[in-house]
Amino acid sequence: MEHKSQSENRKETRREREIEKIREQDPGFIPPEHAPRNKKKTASIWMWLGVGILILLLIVWLTIAMFTGDTDVNMITPFPWV
């Protein structure tokens, strides 16, 4: 036999009341089996690390391309003497 706390019982009865209100509007409503997860407010350290590595690789790639002259950019300069 499962023992539930009073707060869990209140949450269950509140959920059942909400489902009944929805079913009055939509008799074919099937409630989800699980409660929705809380969304994470902050980004993980791994995402920031990955972003930093990608930015570093981009800077290295562009620096090497500038030194070798292999930028493959057909740039139109506003000043023809440059």
Stretch 6-35: mean pLDDT:
82
User: Hunting for tokens 């707060």 — which residue is that?
Assistant: 7
Distance CA 13, CA 42 (A): 32
In terms of pTM, does the model score above 0.75?
Answer: no
In eight-state DSSP terms, residue 43 is -
What pLDDT, in 10s, does the model give residues 54-74?
999 999 988 888 888 776 666
Distance CA 50, CA 76 (A): 34
User: Hunting for tokens 């139109």 — which residue is that?
Assistant: 76
Q: What are the structural domain ranges in the chain?
A: 6-68
